[in-house]
Chain A
Amino acid sequence: MSIKIEHLNYIYSQGTAYEKQALTDINLELPNGQFTGIIGHTGSGKSTLIQHLNGLVKATSGAIYYNGENIYAEGYSMKELRSRVGLVFQYPEYQLFEVDVFTDVCFGPKNLGLPKDEVEARAYEALRQVGLKEKYYKKSPFELSGGQKRRAAIAGILAMQPEVLILDEPTAGLDPRGRDNILDQIALLHEERGITVVLVSHSMEDIAKYVERIIVMQKGHVRFDDEPRRVFEHYRELEQIGLAAPQVTYVMQELKKRGMQVDTGAMTIEEARASILACMGQVGI
């Protein structure tokens, strides 16, 4: 039960003057229930990669298996795949179109052909999960603030109750508080429902404390694929490809260089604090 990508290649506008290889020989496996982060610079191919996972973009070559079934096999239902692998696009609020928020969230489950009461039950649950207050349900999506619109749009995907949830830069353009709120909610969902979550971002800082695994993309290749602390050990290389490790990593690396035996793998401020205090305790200050 997982998503498996084998030798995936994708070439944009093949056969024209604008031909461009966007993805080169990608091999990945996303096991069920994992919280994965995909990181890369603009144009590194991360958005293209995730659009393959629910069949919106067809690979030029290679195969993708969802729960062991090849999604490019004849007769494989893309519609069903899309109901199982939910993809939240960048700036998802641009897809809102209905007269009110609630009806808009109903769009997804309605397309699955569910009965009306089931559709509404799912919409209510999804809206509750993203933490949108009930007074907004009957408002036009265009009356909402940026963060609220974003939540409504995410709820639109959640209402389809996917087994895998992929989010493309869900926090782009939000203020720090809105960002933390949304990420916390996603982490909570992952915990509560045990769904597989893939979070795409260009900021390490944002996702470091949530994900179990980080995939770093560069120019259409997978550059690193490991648990966060291991990936951050390559902070110099990350910098070279225009990314950065969390600030804590830099502090810890610098302390170590100056002779303190701190844990350079610390990723949150709390972990770093504990590690530094432990060190100081040993030295006896």
Chain B
Amino acid sequence: MIRDITIGQYYPADSVIHRLDPRTKLVGTLVFIFSLFLFRSFAAYAVATICLAGVIRASKVPFKFMVKGLKSILILLMITVVFNMFLTPGEPLFKIWKLTITQEGVLQAAFMAIRLTYLIIGSSVMTLTTTPNQLTDGMEKGLRPLNKLHVPVHEVAMMMSIALRFIPILLEETDKIMKAQMARGADFENGGLLQKAKSMVPLLVPLFISAFRRASDLAMAMEARGYHGGGGRTKMKPLKYQKRDHMAYLAMMLYLLAMYAAKRITGF
């Protein structure tokens, strides 16, 4: 049921990738996505495949979790492929009825499919090996220079981590209230659109009330512990780059070079 939905789908394991600094992983993911769009070449994508496979292997997360995210974009992926195939002008390959498939179109479609798939898998590697809290921590520290431009980095990060923290709580609460109303004969599945919308009332009213109650409790608890925003606040576990992070940055550079070289040398 609802319990099985995971957002911030962290997969607990003990691996090098898990232990990396979240900033390294954020940058790494960005570098990976960037490289997919920059080097439009099959040879370069072969390099990307090898590197991605290596990282997945090192992360100790079962492969089926990586591809789970793909399910949700399957339709989008198919539409992209079809549109690219039919609508790219160029050398006609063959004709079906009024639609022509062009050579360029097939290539374009293949590139788009690879890019989208790798983009999802690449970011899954990050979200599966990093807890949401680590991620916001990493963002807070990484974006700190923006403070000078009067961007409230800490406040935004705090809001994000609270929001993330509340997702599973509210999901669980939804599950609980749903069950409680089902025990009173409520029906959430059958009926038309109007009926379904109406049946949401017994779920949403208690859910909103509980969300507000939790929010006010949390605010009170934070104040009671002396929270007053980011100024002068220290961390219990400050983020610090380790040797493995430096290695990872080095690996990223090598990766970009390899991509560039692969494209340049083979030209394919």
Q: Which residues of A does B touch, CB under 8 Å?
A: 12-13, 16-17, 51, 54, 56, 79, 82-83, 86-89, 92, 94-97, 107-108, 111-112, 142, 156-157, 160
Residues of B within 8 A of A51 (CB): 179
Q: Which residues of B does A touch, CB under 8 Å?
A: 3-4, 6, 11-12, 65, 176-177, 179-187, 201-202, 205-206, 209-210
Contact yes or no, A89 B205, CB < 8 A: no
Contact yes or no, B4 A96, CB < 8 A: no
Residues of A within 8 A of B201 (CB): 97
Q: How many inter-chain residue pairs (CB < 8 Å) link A and B?
A: 63
- State how many angstroms separate the Cβ of B148 from the closest Cβ of chain A: 41
Contact yes or no, A82 B202, CB < 8 A: no
Contact yes or no, A95 B180, CB < 8 A: yes
- State how many angstroms separate the Cβ of A58 from the closest Cβ of chain B: 9
Contact yes or no, A97 B184, CB < 8 A: no
A157-B182 Cα distance, complex, nearest whole Å: 11
- State how many angstroms separate the Cβ of A106 from the closest Cβ of chain B: 10
Given A17-B11, A97-B201, A142-B209: A111 and B184 within 8 A (CB)? Answer: yes
Closest to B12 in A: A17
- State how many angstroms separate the Cβ of A151 from the closest Cβ of chain B: 15
Residues of B within 8 A of A83 (CB): 185
Closest to B68 in A: A16
Main secondary structure of the interface of B (DSSP, over half): helix
A111-B180 Cα distance, complex, nearest whole Å: 13
Residues of B within 8 A of A12 (CB): 3
Contact yes or no, B187 A79, CB < 8 A: yes
Contact yes or no, B206 A96, CB < 8 A: yes
- State how many angstroms separate the Cβ of B10 from the closest Cβ of chain A: 9
Contact yes or no, A56 B183, CB < 8 A: yes
Residues of B within 8 A of A54 (CB): 183
A17-B6 Cα distance, complex, nearest whole Å: 11
Contact yes or no, B187 A111, CB < 8 A: yes
Contact yes or no, B183 A157, CB < 8 A: yes
A94 CB contact (under 8 Å) in B3, B12, B177: B177
- State how many angstroms separate the Cβ of A123 from the closest Cβ of chain B: 12
Contact yes or no, A160 B184, CB < 8 A: yes
A13-B12 Cα distance, complex, nearest whole Å: 15
Contact yes or no, B181 A95, CB < 8 A: yes
B186 CB contact (under 8 Å) in A13, A86, A111, A142: A111
Contact yes or no, B183 A82, CB < 8 A: yes
Closest to B210 in A: A94
Contact yes or no, B185 A82, CB < 8 A: yes
Given A17-B11, A112-B185: A107 and B202 within 8 A (CB)? Answer: yes
- State how many angstroms separate the Cβ of B175 from the closest Cβ of chain A: 10
Residues of A within 8 A of B181 (CB): 95, 107
Contact yes or no, B4 A82, CB < 8 A: no
Closest to B190 in A: A79
A142-B179 Cα distance, complex, nearest whole Å: 21
A39-B216 Cα distance, complex, nearest whole Å: 33
A87-B201 Cα distance, complex, nearest whole Å: 20
Residues of A within 8 A of B186 (CB): 107, 111
Task: Sort A-B residue pairs by CB-CB distance and give the 6 closest, nearest first.
Answer: A111-B185, A97-B205, A95-B180, A108-B184, A87-B183, A89-B180
- State how many angstroms separate the Cβ of B65 from the closest Cβ of chain A: 8
Residue from the set B180, B181, B186 with the largest chain A CB neighbour count within 10 Å: B180
Contact yes or no, A95 B177, CB < 8 A: yes
Contact yes or no, B183 A89, CB < 8 A: yes
Query: What are 26 A-B pairs with beta-carbon distances under 8 A?
Result: A13-B3, A16-B4, A16-B6, A54-B183, A56-B179, A56-B182, A79-B187, A82-B182, A82-B183, A83-B185, A86-B183, A89-B176, A89-B183, A94-B176, A94-B177, A95-B181, A95-B206, A96-B206, A97-B206, A107-B181, A107-B186, A107-B202, A108-B185, A111-B186, A111-B187, A157-B183
Residues of A within 8 A of B12 (CB): 17
Closest to B182 in A: A56
Contact yes or no, A107 B184, CB < 8 A: yes
